[in-house]
Structure 1
């Protein structure tokens, strides 16, 4: 019986998507479906996905002929998903072969609704940075900073009523806040089995933009007061400085 729905948005990713798909197909845990939404790509992304979906029926292609953005693209995949556990992998990121097996086992053994993991950040210039988030992350923790990598998250759709990415900046962070505001926490599963590819000029590489986006989510998604927003954004900046100078 299949247990896991893997959600993959894709837009003009023909240089990396084959490697990302292979990292899912090579999982030691075989009971999954991989749902890929091609978000209006103008390169060979669609053809590459079709090549794989023709061979392996666990791969489901959704074609969006207009660019919708990451949030709506992921939501289209979630609407198509059929299984209990939902997890996320972008079309340029990677998993090691035991990622699903170890995370599903941890979720089942501890009866958890949400888990996250360690991951490594890499690029084409020699970057190889390990991100180690806290063992438990609550709603109040998440208001201060987000240590959760989307590519490491697994959600139990039978425990969480609505899994939909808000159409806002930092949509993954916004979704985690909405989930945890309802009383859930996220727990660190063992191992470091995911690899995040940092692209040149990516959102995460621009700190000023990140602060502005953080403020936007705190105001319009968390819906907290101005004074609390000021406190949490100050905490966010301090944590960022500590992380930068520590490394």
Structure 2
């Protein structure tokens, strides 16, 4: 097996951070990867920055959507274009530590795991360490994941050779959460690597910092994607709130 990793990166007006994100991929100790960046009709100079990297390294590929469609559509286009045995996710403002791919690919191959995730630390918008670390749980199943999304998108990787290409529901928000649930309907477990291998950038304007919006999109996920009953959806939305608070 080739063990090529396809890295899925949606980009929209990411000029402030995209250079750091791409550089964190270039610095990986594991070299067998392709980085597929799908731009969602940026209006800043993101394209110019990305193209400068594309010219320097053939493993970096850029695709531009015809109309602004959201991160879910952008990620799905990247998955469609991917050629890897594994698919990993990295948003355009997040970072990987240099051993991320090497440790995680080995973790998956050694144990025959199909969906994995890692621990990660949280950094400020300016890159300063917030002193907060999210430690991955050893394993998660579908029911446990309904209570709260415990898989950081920037840490997730799935095995294409065993699962095939699994696409995200094209909802505007929470599509990564929906993808893990989709996979866990087929797989008994997702497995966590406890190593801190990524840096999540906590941005003031992100959906995760808008609690009312988060409630709305979680409700949409449970009711319209997972097709849960009104009572079940209310229960799991409440569980998500409790998890966030405590």
TM-score, normalised to structure 1, is 0.93
Q: State the secondary structure of the residue aligned to 1:134.
A: coil
Note if 1:55 corresponds to 2:59.
no
Q: Is the 8 A contact 2:136 2:193 kept in 1?
A: no
1:13 is aligned to: 14
* Offset from partner CA, 1:185-236 (integer Å, 9 cap, x none): 2101141010111111211112222122111101111111222222222222
1:135 is aligned to: 138
Residue 2 of structure 1 and its aligned partner are, at CA, apart by 5.3
2:177 is aligned to: 173
2:212 is aligned to: 208
2:40 is aligned to: 39
Single out whichever of 200-209 and 120-129 deviates more from structure 2: 120-129
Q: Distance in 2 between matches of 1:65 and 1:137?
A: 37
Residue 41 of structure 1 and its aligned partner are, at CA, apart by 1.1
* Offset from partner CA, 1:83-105 (integer Å, 9 cap, x none): 11000111110001000000000
Q: Is the 8 A contact 2:116 2:191 kept in 1?
A: yes
Q: Is the 8 A contact 1:218 1:229 kept in 2?
A: yes
The count of aligned residue pairs is 242
Structure 2 unaligned spans of 5+: none
Runs of 4+ in 1 over 4 A off after TM superposition: none
Q: Distance in 2 between matches of 1:219 and 1:55?
A: 45
Structure 1 unaligned spans of 5+: 243-247
1:84 is aligned to: 85
1:163 is aligned to: 166
Q: Distance in 2 between matches of 1:222 and 1:162?
A: 20
Note if 1:198 corresponds to 2:199.
no
Single out whichever of 118-127 and 93-102 deviates more from structure 2: 118-127
Residue 162 of structure 1 and its aligned partner are, at CA, apart by 4.0
Cα RMSD, aligned residues only: 1.4
1:185 is aligned to: 189
1:232 is aligned to: 236
